[in-house]
Structure 1
């Protein structure tokens, strides 16, 4: 094969990791679904599946890092990685769009219908007579009892400041990498993942406060369900992003990445900015409105 063809085409070698990952995801899916449906064994099946997935991710990314550091990847591979990350983030955009869509549908369509707006007064009369079109709501049927709405100040405002600050620190770290300023890169990258972990701790504190003092639970009707669905999945993404940033920091401490070759770092930076943008949407539509 000519050198020109080698620059254009890349055929990856065989790997056992996709099969291992599929097995782990199968056990994880079965475990979660059976655990949520009351099976105690499902909890252990879920943990087993999660352990396999973690093993797969650790092994697969270790191989990719070793191959990258060994100079096995050319510009075509770098381009394919970038395209893959772009489509992955796009899929994440669609993931959260579905949940924001559910919130919009509940607030602006379902609740007004059940409350008997001008075009659907029979729905109110026949199904839930007396139900009022208000948001937030734990009804119809007053599910979960009385509760308090989570306001935009306090911990939510602090978490917003944390994530906005982390967006600045990761940008500074990126520019430091482009200019080969390794000390600045290491310091601000560490600051970014520490802020990420701090966000997760503060969100856990927020959940404890909501459950124990506000009676705001996942059983608090459609408001409680959408609140925890959106903030919970976002918190999971922050946790994953902070772990990835930690891995990138370990790699930078080992001298990995150069100003011209640093896709691993850049991909995680893209992901982190995406997480920040999603939180801003959450803060406006869940906490303020």
Structure 2
């Protein structure tokens, strides 16, 4: 009877799990709660199933977010457990790598949309189909009356920070391949610290930006592109922090460390996107513009 349950293949048949269903419920609550929250901010209503969800304000969204965070923790904990139990065979690991590559490719296209919006507004500021947009830009880029950030101040600091973090995560990877546990922990610790420092510098930059998101096509494209990148930095920092905790616990070996590889790939992707943002939105767009001095 025991032989009937022995696995004679390289594939992993996932055990029945409640987490996909729970994730769907959490996403539904976040969607309904988010819309209800926005409706309540403008004094509107969201009547569904005989109940005005707008009266719940942000509570529904908070419940959905809390449930989603718990599902993420529990689901990934199960995945880590499966990997440690040997369920992630070479074939399964190959497919996991394909999945991560496809995920990063989708993220590339996500940022292509924001670059597209930025270059459409900046390269053709006077050829908009709506007169209001031409009035916003004044036919020039940056728009008239806009003072831009000095690209060689805080943005340059953040560029150096991210380049250093790419170096430290690579150091940690090479240390792992050579079974140098102390080097892995040191490299990941520095990378996480640099990620936190980047986020703080960007927060400070946003707090002192001489333009706003609203009423400016420049501000809208700037904050959407750099803001989403900042969000990805936060996600990547958490990803690496989890890898750091696992490295301290001794989960990774030179032969088996897919999670660390995925985190490193994601972090290098974040680095490359920032270089394009810095070169285009900060440096190129500042040519001939008035630089803010405060």
The 2-side partners of 1:164 and 1:270 are apart by 14
1:6 counterpart = 2:21: no
1:23 corresponding residue in structure 2? 25
The 2-side partners of 1:254 and 1:166 are apart by 22
The answer (yes or no) to whether the contact 2:137–2:217 under 8 Å persists in 1 is: no
**CA, structure 1 residues 287+71, in 2 after alignment: closer, same or farther (shift >3 Å)?**
same
1:279 counterpart = 2:274: yes
1:252 counterpart = 2:266: no
**CA, structure 1 residues 196+131, in 2 after alignment: closer, same or farther (shift >3 Å)?**
closer
- Name the SS for the 2:148 alignment partner: coil
Query: Cα offset for 1:48?
Result: 1.9
Further displaced range: 38-47 or 255-264: 38-47
1:1-289 correspondence to structure 2 within 5 Å: 6-7=9-10, 9-39=11-41, 41-109=56-124, 111-114=125-128, 132-137=138-143, 146-210=145-209, 214=210, 216-289=211-284
The answer (yes or no) to whether the contact 1:177–1:259 under 8 Å persists in 2 is: yes
The 2-side partners of 1:45 and 1:234 are apart by 27
The answer (yes or no) to whether the contact 2:12–2:87 under 8 Å persists in 1 is: no
Further displaced range: 268-277 or 49-58: 49-58
Query: Cα offset for 1:229?
Result: 0.3
> What stretches of structure 1 of length at least 5 have no aligned partner?
115-119, 139-145
Query: Cα offset for 1:76?
Result: 1.4
The 2-side partners of 1:267 and 1:130 are apart by 42
TM-score (norm. length: structure 2): 0.84
TM-score (norm. length: structure 1): 0.86
How many aligned positions are there? 268
Name segments (4+ residues, structure 1) moved above 3 Å: 1-5, 36-42, 126-132
The 2-side partners of 1:15 and 1:58 are apart by 14
What RMSD, in angstroms, separates the aligned Cα atoms of the two structures?
Answer: 2.4
> What stretches of structure 2 of length at least 5 have no aligned partner?
42-53, 285-294
